[in-house]
Amino acid sequence: MSLPVSLAVVLVAFLVTNGLTPAVRRAARRLGAIDYPGGRRVNTRPTPRLGGVAIYLGFVAAGLVAMVVTRPIDVVATATETFVRIPIAPRTDAAVLGILLGGTCIAAVGVYDDIRGLAPGLKFLAMVASATILIPFGLATQFVTHPLTGKVIALGPWGAVATVVWVVAVVNVINFIDGLDGLAAGITAIAGTTLWLTAGAKGDVAATTLAAAMVGASLGFLRHNFNPARIFMGDSGSMFLGYVLGGLSVMGLYKSYTAISLVVPILAMGVPIADTAWAIWRRWRGGRPIYLPDRGHLHHRLLDRGLTQRQTVILLYMVSAVLGLGALALAGVNRPAAVVTLGVIAAVLLIGAQRMGLLAR
């Protein structure tokens, strides 16, 4: 029996993140990194944040494994013993190193913000600086195709600018959606699964393993973060996950400059992107700074309509899963395993919604 590298990566990320989260929770309490009830927050008791540290460590551990173990792991069972053969074949990939380095920088910024607080302007500059790290590692889109004519358009130096803008935008998109227990972690896991399956179908080993690491870390944290949450990911988690998602989608673009390569990540992150776009429009129309938090996000509106936190989160999970299936269909991922994977996610979410009475009239 052989275990694909991507599945081993998911397992490592899950186990490391899940195992470290309780220790991170205790450290957050000692450091005073705690969200207290009140204002726009929906938690009813003091809850430590800083969970992004565990997510980051799980992701990095899995990423390092993927850089060393590049071929399937063999499990051989005999009548008396079981052997695990791990083929060691180190491989370096500039894009992977770029995402790990830039992700480390933005995670550090998030940790500082979770503990000490950081002015919005400085936080934005840190996002831009972290996104710029990707450029020297080759993660800059050089060409795109016109969605109607199919003509190839060279971006030149504007490709680097577009990359930075996109990554910063995705960082903020995930940061904005992180408002309910388990919401950001679950949506990231679903979007990451979509990118994982798409990259796997294209044979992009680096993107496949990084996406798998992100999914495993998100799920490992979700075990502690689902309602009622025992810890929040904080900006250290939401900014890091957004950065990785942005970097992964750029990896798909710079290896395939077709328009559909841009549509896939947009659909995969459809819920947080739509919520952020509406928030920016709403605040601009109201004459308020777009970075000023409010209770007008989609999840807040669903809560105001009488849904519970769990019902709201599962509903948004379901929408994200459906959009992910649409992204896979557009990308031409027709392999049964791809459709079945997200189909199972959607089915589980549907069953959960029915048991909680979310679909009752």
- Give residue-wise pLDDT tens across range 60-103: 999 888 887 766 666 666 666 666 666 666 677 788 899 999 99
118: nearest Cα among 128, 129, 107, 110: 110
Task: Report the distance separating Cα 143 and Cα 138, nearest Å.
Answer: 13
**Who wins on pLDDT, 309 or 345?**
309
Instruction: Indicate whether 360 belongs to any domain.
Output: no
Residue 49 has pLDDT above 70, yes or no: yes
327 is a domain residue: yes
**Whether residue 53 has pLDDT greater than 80:** yes
Q: Which residue has the higher pLDDT, 101 or 35?
A: 101
| pLDDT 10s digits, 156-203 | 777 888 889 989 999 998 988 888 889 899 999 998 998 888 888 778
d(CA 49, CA 209): 27
Long-range contacts of 168-171 (CB under 8 A, 24+ apart): 168/124, 168/127, 168/128, 168/131, 168/246, 169/246, 169/276, 170/242, 170/243, 170/245, 170/246, 170/249, 170/269, 171/106, 171/127, 171/131, 171/239, 171/242, 171/243, 171/246
Number of domains in the chain: 1
Distance from CA of residue 35 to its chain's centroid? 22
- In the prediction, which pLDDT does 267 show? 77
Residue 177 belongs to some domain of the structure = yes
> Considering the domain boundaries, does residue 211 fall inside one?
yes
| pLDDT-derived band at 141, boundaries 50, 70, 90 | confident
Would 33 be classed as within a structural domain? yes
- Cα-trace Rg, the chain: 20
Q: Which of 111-125, 138-152, 290-304 has the lowest mean pLDDT?
A: 138-152
Q: Look at residue 88 and tell me if it is in a domain.
A: yes
Per the listing, tokens 């995930």 go with: 174
**pLDDT above 90 covers what percent of the chain?**
34
For 97, the domain range is: 2-355
Do the Cβ atoms of 323 and 275 come closer than 8 Å? no
Asked whether 248 and 200 are in contact (CB, 8 A), the reply is no
Residue of 341 and 30 predicted with greater confidence: 30
User: How many CA atoms lie within 13 Å of 266's alpha carbon, on the beta-carbon side?
Assistant: 10
Residue 151 has pLDDT above 90, yes or no: no
Query: Residue 341 pLDDT more than 70?
Result: no
pTM of the model: 0.83
Greater confidence (7 vs 342) lies with 7
pLDDT at 140 over 70: yes
Measured CA to CA in angstroms, residue 252 lies from 18, 93, 107, 259, 265 at distances of 29, 14, 23, 11, 9
- Asked if residues 61 and 13 have their Cβ atoms less than 8 Å apart, the reply is yes
Whether 123 is covered by a domain: the verdict is yes
Measured distance CA(260)–CA(253) in Å, rounded? 9
Query: Per-residue confidence at 360, pLDDT binned at 50, 70, 90?
Result: very low
| Stronger pLDDT, 300 or 306, i.e. the higher one | 306
* CB contact at 8 A, 321 and 342: yes
Alpha carbon distances (Å) from 283 to 121, 278, 292: 17, 9, 8
